[in-house]
Amino acid sequence: MKLQTSFIMREYLRPEMLPTTWCGGCGLGIIMSAIVQAIHFRGLDKNQVAMVSGIGCTGRMSGYVDFYTLHTTHGRAPAFATGLKLARPDLTVVTVMGDGDAMSIGGNHLIHAMRRNIGMVAIVVNNNVYGLTGGQSSPTTPIGGHTTTTRVGSFERPMNLEALARAAGAPFYARATVNHTAALTKLVELALGVSGFALIEVISNCHVLYGKMNEMAEASRMIAAMDADTQRTNPTLQRRGQWPLRLTSPEAPSWQAQTQPLEGVSGEPRIPRGLIFQRTGSVDFSRRYYAKLDEIRAKREKGEGVSKV
């Protein structure tokens, strides 16, 4: 594993936009540097990559990186990325979304991008809270998590992105945390090689809003807690189908009661991190689309298969 140098970062950032507007210690900067490093180590040119982002703290990321960037409407980042990927199939599209962006307002767009298997890397930054608007509870706030709208602790069942990705047909799903930065970089690097929709859920920290109300006011404490709260998946056992029995075994029907909710950053069972599942033989939608288009064109030239009204 190659190591980061800040010299690498400088080529891929817009220096006039720095420093970032994120709070000190926010994990979004770590995620941004992981994405940039993964693109660098993958050997991609700056002009081959497009970053699409929605609204929220995460949406600001597209302003700092020096790729082709789109800062789009709230929750519609996958929809814009779909159009971009179909118009320019040669581009590598990276979509960054927050948890509110991807799962609450943009849930439908995310599902249909996964269903169509659009070729993009979607990074969902999960910090359990709506950060930009003042710490309201989000779809991923764990049960018992205190936010400004759930003062006595949330009692709603948090959303399980893993089960959703499995059901909607995403070919690649990985979970990383901002504590395990080398693994995060490696997983983004792997996801960039997937033909189709590669989804990475990154567990991040919002110590300013979520941590303050849940006795983790320091960024370092909140990030360090991720080490104890997550568990690395074992690829060997996963191949044998022994791990984890919770919901990631390929035979488990994703709609049943065994698809437990994501329990959040505390409590057992520990959340698995690493490459959770990968489906082989996935084909990018844009490739299928253009193949179909050629097929129709060829048929028309022969005068077949066209309904003459």
Q: What angle in degrees, to the nearest 10, is found between the helix axes of 107-116 and 77-87?
A: 30
Under the binding rule (CB under 8 A), the answer on residue 23 touching other proteins is: yes
Under the binding rule (CB under 8 A), the answer on residue 208 touching other proteins is: no
Cis? peptide before 250, omega within 30° of 0: no
Stretch that binds other proteins, among 25-33, 71-79, 118-126, 275-283 (CB under 8 A): 25-33
Stretch that binds other proteins, among 5-13, 169-177, 279-287, 291-299 (CB under 8 A): 5-13
Q: How far is the CB of 17 from other proteins (least distance, A)?
A: 11
Under the binding rule (CB under 8 A), the answer on residue 33 touching other proteins is: yes
Among 11, 17, 24, 296, the residue binding other proteins under the rule CB under 8 A is 24
User: Residues in contact with other proteins, total (CB under 8 A)?
Assistant: 28
Under the binding rule (CB under 8 A), the answer on residue 13 touching other proteins is: yes
Please give the Cα distance from 239 to 218 (Å, whole number).
38
DSSP 211-274: IHHTT--SHHHHHHHHHHHEEE--HHHHHHT-S-TTT-STTS-TTSTTSPPP--SSSSSPEEEE
Q: How far is the CB of 179 from other proteins (least distance, A)?
A: 8
Under the binding rule (CB under 8 A), the answer on residue 6 touching other proteins is: yes
Q: Phi and psi (nearest 5°) for 41?
A: -75, -25
Stretch that binds other proteins, among 26-34, 104-112, 122-130, 297-305 (CB under 8 A): 26-34
Q: How far is the CB of 147 from other proteins (least distance, A)?
A: 22
Among 19, 43, 281, 303, the residue binding other proteins under the rule CB under 8 A is 19
Q: Which of 103, 114, 8, 102 is nearest to 52 (CA)?
A: 102
Nearest CB to other proteins, comparing residues 4 and 278? 4
Under the binding rule (CB under 8 A), the answer on residue 182 touching other proteins is: yes
Under the binding rule (CB under 8 A), the answer on residue 1 touching other proteins is: no
DSSP 71-135: E-STT-HHHHHHHHHHH-TTSEEEEEEEHIIIIIITHHHHHHHHHHT-SEEEEEEE-SEETTTTS
Q: Long-range contacts for 5-8 (Cβ within 8 Å, ≥24 apart)?
A: 8/36, 8/37, 8/40
Nearest CB to other proteins, comparing residues 174 and 219? 219
Nearest CB to other proteins, comparing residues 5 and 236? 5
Under the binding rule (CB under 8 A), the answer on residue 16 touching other proteins is: no
Q: How many CB atoms lie within 10 A of CB 161?
A: 23
Name the residues that contact other proteins, by CB under 8 A: 3-7, 9-10, 13, 18-20, 22-30, 33, 181-182, 218-220, 223-224
